[in-house]
């Protein structure tokens, strides 16, 4: 079994929800990088964006990934922007199996709204959000094994990842050095 299972994808893809189920299925701990950023910053993410700016959020996010880099046997739900930052590439190139939870923009927005967690980057106008989505997609696709999430329950998605982990395609990751 790989050292680290990492979930990537756009906001609303279901990384935290699927990650919790997956971690339970694998008998591992789920680490949610957004929650660690909030702990480290001492405030919720929307406030961090408002008071200190996205730049500070990204700085703390990179620190969080650095602290997790040596940890083994965890499932990591990452923030949607984490794989995009060049400073974070080290994390996704480590001994991980990385899965891209694929979601269309419409479903992502609907889920993000339903989930009730404020995402500062979704407060922008439609064109800006679409641009962000399109820009990021190719990075997610380059780094992660694709897993479809639409019209499937989080349990079904976690189950597929368990199956993929047991099969030959889970390691190495497309962008990583494997393990
Ligand atoms: C962000 C995604 C959020 C959170 C922050 C920035 C992004 O996490 O890290 O609001 O840049 O896509 P989720 O992907 O868990 O919503």
Contact 96, 145 (CB under 8 A): no
* Residue 88 confidence (pLDDT): 97
How far, in Å, is the centroid of ligand 1 from the Cα of 168?
30
Q: Is 119 in the pocket of ligand 1 (CB under 6 A)?
A: yes
pTM for the full predicted model: 0.92
pLDDT digits (tens, 9 = 90+) for 139-155: 999 999 999 999 999 99
* Residue 161 confidence (pLDDT): 98
pLDDT grade for 178, boundaries at 50, 70 and 90: very low
Residue 124 or 162, more confident: 162
* Residue 174 confidence (pLDDT): 53
* Residue 118 confidence (pLDDT): 81
DSSP H helices, the chain, are 15-26, 33-41, 45-52, 54-68, 89-92, 105-115, 126-143, 154-166
Q: Is 144 in the pocket of ligand 1 (CB under 6 A)?
A: no
Closest-CA residue, ligand 1 atom 10, reads: 119
* Residue 31 confidence (pLDDT): 98
pLDDT digits (tens, 9 = 90+) for 123-135: 888 999 999 999 9
Q: Does 40 have pLDDT greater than 60?
A: yes
Q: Does 36 have pLDDT greater than 50?
A: yes
User: Rounded to an integer, what distance in angstroms lies between the CA atom of residue 83 and that of residue 64?
Assistant: 13
């Amino acid at each position: 079994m790989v050292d680290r299972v990492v979930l990537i994808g756009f906001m609303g893809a279901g990384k935290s929800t699927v990650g919790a189920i997956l971690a339970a299925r694998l008998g591992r701990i789920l680490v949610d990088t957004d929650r660690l950023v909030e702990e480290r910053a001492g405030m919720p993410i929307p406030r961090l964006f408002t008071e200190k700016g996205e730049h500070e959020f990204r700085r703390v996010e990179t620190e969080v990934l650095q602290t997790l880099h040596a940890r083994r046997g965890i499932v990591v739900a990452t923030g949607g922007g984490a794989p995009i930052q060049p400073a974070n590439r080290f994390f996704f190139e480590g001994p991980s199996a990385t899965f891209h939870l694929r979601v269309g923009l419409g479903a992502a927005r609907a889920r993000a709204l339903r989930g009730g967690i404020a995402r500062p980057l979704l407060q922008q106008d439609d064109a800006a959000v679409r641009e962000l989505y399109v820009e990021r997609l190719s990075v997610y696709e380059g780094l992660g094994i694709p897993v479809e999430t639409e019209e499937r329950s989080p349990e079904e998605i976690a189950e597929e990842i368990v199956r993929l982990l047991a099969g030959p395609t889970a390691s190495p990751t497309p962008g990583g050095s494997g393990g």
